[in-house]
Structure 1
Amino acid sequence: MSTATELTEETELTEKLVRQVRTRLAEGRLPTEPGALVGLIGELEQLKATASAVQADASVHLDGARREEERIAGVPARRRGRGVATEIALARRESTHRGRNLLAFARILRADLPHTSARLRDGTLSEWRAMLLARETVCLEVDQRRAVDKQVCADAAKLDGVGTRRLVALARSAAIAIKQEPLVQRAARCAAERRVSIRPAPESMCYVTALLPLGQGVAAYAALTRDAEAIRRDGDARGSGQLMADLFVARTTGLPLLGDGHDGESADHPADTGSASDPGPPAVPVTVNVTMSDAALLGGADEAAVVTAAGVPTQVVPAQVARLLLSEALSESAGAWVRRLYTDPAGRLVAMSSKQRCFDGALADVLLQRDQGICRMPYCDAPIRHLDHVVPREVDGPTSEANGQGLCEACNHAKQAPGWRQRTDRDPPEGRHSVLTRTPSGRTYRSQAPPPPGRPGTRAPGLSAARGRGSSARARPARSR
């Protein structure tokens, strides 16, 4: 029987059946004629959309089934379904945050956007475009949302050739025509969602992004632009973009701008920290951990190093960049303290234990360095917020390096839902700390600590240098229960 015949309306979709379809796709032979290749690409894109629609339906059914199981088991209503989003995220190889968004989207899609759901299922809309439509209507009442859904997505032919920006405009225009007060109220509420985030960028850089109300964002950008141009007119050789970036750092940290009196130098005689045309960004006296092997630090080896700070995920940098950061940290202008973190031949940080209930002090430092600032739940990229017991303290889990892990707040709460179990792997691959997580569905996922800097087989004691002034105390994640 062919796959097309198998996938009828009466067929129960099972993991085995989908795996067979996927295997046939992976092992199939591509056509050679260009027209056939283009047709194949188009059908595969529609297949992805259809699969997303089925995933959304399956997510809603899983949520309902899990909540019913927990109701029967006597779990309080406010705690039912706590771990479902994380379970979905693990199955989709996504972060817990992404899992929550996907589950919320699936609920809205199934309950309130039947035409959008149909367009996703027939491949007219991609998952991302369908999510944008859900976002544009989320502030409306149910009947209003369904009216926008019908107006925009009832006729698949009307979506032919419509770009994403135009699609969002159509939904927004339809929503405003029906009732604009909710959109005005949402705009006011969105001001409360202002925030600053950070993520890695290529070439040992990073993006610091501020989500601001329109007025404040435009004013901040205009001020940076205006002042950068004024400095350039006074003869500074830096480009507008460089000056805006340096002004941003100087103003958010309270430090003077290089070339403007930094470290006692006058604006006409900038400190010698960069090229003749670019004195470089301001030196920042904040805690930044640079972890590297002694071979990379002292022997000129080219092993990668890792850079972290409190609440910020790790970024991998070349050894030479780490050496430059370390030299800046040891300069008189920044001040520094240095700490050695020793590893065994397998690359594991030294084990430490405590009689206390919470991870604190040097033991907290070991966990943060071992996990490199990133949540240990598989596929989660969020910064560590909690230092958690793998085996809970309530069942005599020790407060030790082996039984400790760094988690984000959402993942720590999710693993406390009924049916979740964790344990450390007694025989971990490559000797690195490993945690096995079993979900209520019986699936097991492995989380392994990232390797410390240095090549396998050439490990030497690592060294962590943190840049800072005054006390070496640093902001720590919340204590685990």
Structure 2
Amino acid sequence: MTEDPQRRDATGEADDGHHQVHDAPPADVPVRVEERAVLVGEVDVAAARAALMTLGVQGSPSLDRLSVAETKALLSSIVGIEAALDAVRARALVRLEAAVKEDCLQREESPRQAMQVARSEASRMLKESRSVAGRSLATCRRLVQSMPGMLTALAEGTLNPRSVHTVGSAMGPVPPHVRELVDTMLTAQLPDLQDCGTREISDHVARMLHALDPEGAAERHRRAMKDRHVTITREDHGMASVRALIPAIDAARIRKGLSVAAEGARAAGDRRGHQQIMADMFADALVGRGDGIDPTTLDIGIIITDRSLLAPAHADAATIEGFGPVPYDHVREAMLRAVDSGGEDTDLALTLRNLYADLDDGQLVGVEARSRAFPASLRRFLTLAHQTCRAPFCNAPIRQMDHIVPWSQGGATSLDNGNGTCGGDNQKEESGESVRVIHDEDGTRRTVEWTTRYGQKSRRGGINFDPVGTYRRQRRRQLAESGIAGLPAPPAAGSSAPAHPALPAATALDGVPLSAAETPPVVDSPLETAPPPVPSAHGTGATGEEPALDEGSSANGWSTIYRAFDRLQLRIADLPIIRPRPVSDDVLVLLDDMARGSAPRPSRPPGPTDAPEPPAH
């Protein structure tokens, strides 16, 4: 399978040289950008935005008098406008990227640096981190250049934006010709998909991809395995969420193990909710608290076709119960490992022990190895003060300490010149960005200003640990300045009215001594870094004796037997290994039909000459 030129979108090394699929003439809709107006056709976008903004902020008596039917019509129009704008935004982002690249080429800069600059510009416009903006650029590029059907579905509101962008994101590692096939097939099936949820549409696309390009599915799985990681995100009210990107079979085991343990606890009289018990046992297993999960063999339902067993080059996607489709290669490797292990029932327990035991190894050393010349005490202080990457709109964990004024340019290793950043934003110079410290009149560092090549400015300082106290002090200073117009007067003595309508009475300014609000809380706790998981050395473990059989028929009347393996070690010793073919016959037929402009021919059952050779014994 040839390498897709856009597979490296996430690294900033993508090549957008793939031409658009259809040569349809562009619509005759003029776009004019004037000094104080943006005109699309005859629509003044700025004026429309101002009217909608006023309506949204202040409301309207006529809006309040709308009936249910009229309100639904209004909402339908709003959703339609949002869908159309989302499609226009996709094209505008692609044009922004192309314009930036043209400018960078004139500056004799590399394509990779041009991509970084475009990502920074898009980040400011979208008010998202550079990482999110880069993914948006890549997804929009695929939709505009390779998937006109999905772009039309987005513009017309047939599918919601999240579903369309999920499809576009899934097309990242897919060859262009397969993208075109998926787009054509999805467009034809829109009547059956337009009321489906995003997850179902995503599963639908995954099955399509596996059927159209089974070898590519195996390669994509191997590449996705390299991206496994763990992220820990702070949530509200003292909570946090843990997300791990791991192989689907391992995830199914973990979920089943937690669920079975929770059911057992409930049966024994535990009155916590099922999900609460699962969460508690998950944390207990990771930190070594309590008894953990009983390492018994679990039933993990996996549905797989006989064609996958006999002819892996033409394999269908396997389906893990409750998780959806996964590449057959992933399941096949797990089955072969199960055979090699001798089929012992302790395989799952060993897998879980290996997974959890390895969580404490390696990553902390790697993190410390990335530290620069900042002393440990200064690094710890900056980490506490900044909490997350200080680049605009970025919420990634701090991975590196950045010299705001580079060390090579005489920048000091000091508190004022230090900034906690993630690995990507530490390479700000490559993105055409400049950064400087903003001091107040007393020379104290207050914030850091980031400026893109094209003049977009953003400022971000450290974490405010006392936002209410900051607000009170600012309001006191404002109220003390008699020359400021439009500020509410201080409440009368003894009044319980709040000092500002946005604050409840309990937060009124009067009666709160400044000393109670001016001293920020003291933070003194060790930093905890959660290492990513290490892939297990085994792949399977399930119970059951006989496979459940189910028969389904295709449009042509021939059937494929689906085997639900309750035990992956069941009768798979003779699993054949057939040399994969670059592209399946069905893909070639579809491509040939598309080239001639005709409708794709339906697939046919394998004939005598197409049947796979039986395995050698």
For the aligned pair, the TM-score class normalised by the smaller chain equals 0.5 to 0.7
Relative to 1, partners in 2 of residues 1:21 and 1:8: Cα closer, same or farther, differing over 3 Å?
Answer: farther
Q: Where in structure 1 are there 5+ consecutive unaligned residues?
A: 1-6, 259-308, 313-355, 468-472, 477-481
Listed as ranges, the matches of 1:152-167 within 5 Å are 152-153=186-187, 161-167=195-201
Identity of aligned residues (%): 26
Is 2:456 the partner of 1:443?
A: yes
Is 2:158 the partner of 1:124?
A: yes
The match for 1:252 among 266, 283, 286 is 286
- Matched with 1:368 is 383
Kindly provide the amino acid, as one letter, of the partner of residue 381 in structure 2: V
The separation in 2 between residues aligned to 1:439 and 1:243, in whole angstroms, is 48
Tell me whether 115-124 or 247-256 shows the greater mean CA deviation. Answer: 247-256
Deviation at 1:37, TM superposition (A): 1.9
Q: Secondary structure at the match of 1:147?
A: helix
The separation in 2 between residues aligned to 1:118 and 1:247, in whole angstroms, is 46
Q: Secondary structure at the match of 1:101?
A: helix
Deviation at 1:169, TM superposition (A): 4.8
Contact 1:374/1:382, CA 8 A, preserved across alignment: yes
Q: Secondary structure at the match of 2:131?
A: helix
- Matched with 2:339 is none
Contact 1:86/1:411, CA 8 A, preserved across alignment: no
Relative to 1, partners in 2 of residues 1:133 and 1:244: Cα closer, same or farther, differing over 3 Å?
Answer: closer
Kindly provide the amino acid, as one letter, of the partner of residue 386 in structure 1: Q
Deviation at 1:36, TM superposition (A): 2.4
The separation in 2 between residues aligned to 1:233 and 1:49, in whole angstroms, is 49
- Matched with 1:459 is 518
Listed as ranges, the matches of 1:130-141 within 5 Å are 130-141=164-175
Q: Secondary structure at the match of 1:57?
A: helix
Deviation at 1:441, TM superposition (A): 1.4
Tell me whether 239-248 or 207-216 shows the greater mean CA deviation. Answer: 239-248
Is 2:468 the partner of 1:434?
A: no
Contact 1:311/1:385, CA 8 A, preserved across alignment: no
The separation in 2 between residues aligned to 1:67 and 1:169, in whole angstroms, is 35
Deviation at 1:162, TM superposition (A): 4.7
Contact 1:357/1:399, CA 8 A, preserved across alignment: no
The separation in 2 between residues aligned to 1:475 and 1:166, in whole angstroms, is 35
Deviation at 1:424, TM superposition (A): 1.2
Kindly provide the amino acid, as one letter, of the partner of residue 25 in structure 1: L
The separation in 2 between residues aligned to 1:97 and 1:70, in whole angstroms, is 20
Q: Secondary structure at the match of 1:196?
A: strand
The separation in 2 between residues aligned to 1:420 and 1:215, in whole angstroms, is 43
Mark the structure with the bigger radius of gyration: 2
Deviation at 1:133, TM superposition (A): 1.8
Relative to 1, partners in 2 of residues 1:210 and 1:24: Cα closer, same or farther, differing over 3 Å?
Answer: same
Listed as ranges, the matches of 1:310-389 within 5 Å are 358-371=373-386, 373-389=387-403
Deviations, residues 427-460 of structure 1 (Å, cap 9, x unaligned): 389x762111111111111112221347234323
The separation in 1 between residues aligned to 2:73 and 2:385, in whole angstroms, is 48
Relative to 1, partners in 2 of residues 1:460 and 1:175: Cα closer, same or farther, differing over 3 Å?
Answer: closer
The match for 1:407 among 418, 421, 434 is 421
Is 2:255 the partner of 1:196?
A: no
Q: Secondary structure at the match of 1:400?
A: coil
The match for 2:81 among 42, 47, 52 is 47
Number of residues of Structure 1 aligned to a counterpart in Structure 2: 373
Relative to 1, partners in 2 of residues 1:172 and 1:244: Cα closer, same or farther, differing over 3 Å?
Answer: closer
Listed as ranges, the matches of 1:23-34 within 5 Å are 23-28=50-55, 29=60, 31=63, 32-34=65-67
- Matched with 1:20 is 47
TM-score (structure 2 length as normaliser): 0.53
Listed as ranges, the matches of 1:205-284 within 5 Å are 205-227=239-261, 241-257=275-291
Deviation at 1:185, TM superposition (A): 3.6
The separation in 2 between residues aligned to 1:36 and 1:237, in whole angstroms, is 48
Is 2:30 the partner of 1:10?
A: yes
Deviation at 1:69, TM superposition (A): 2.2
The separation in 2 between residues aligned to 1:445 and 1:209, in whole angstroms, is 30
- Matched with 2:105 is 71
Kindly provide the amino acid, as one letter, of the partner of residue 16 in structure 1: A
- Matched with 1:479 is none
Deviation at 1:242, TM superposition (A): 4.8
The separation in 1 between residues aligned to 2:37 and 2:416, in whole angstroms, is 37
- Matched with 1:87 is 121
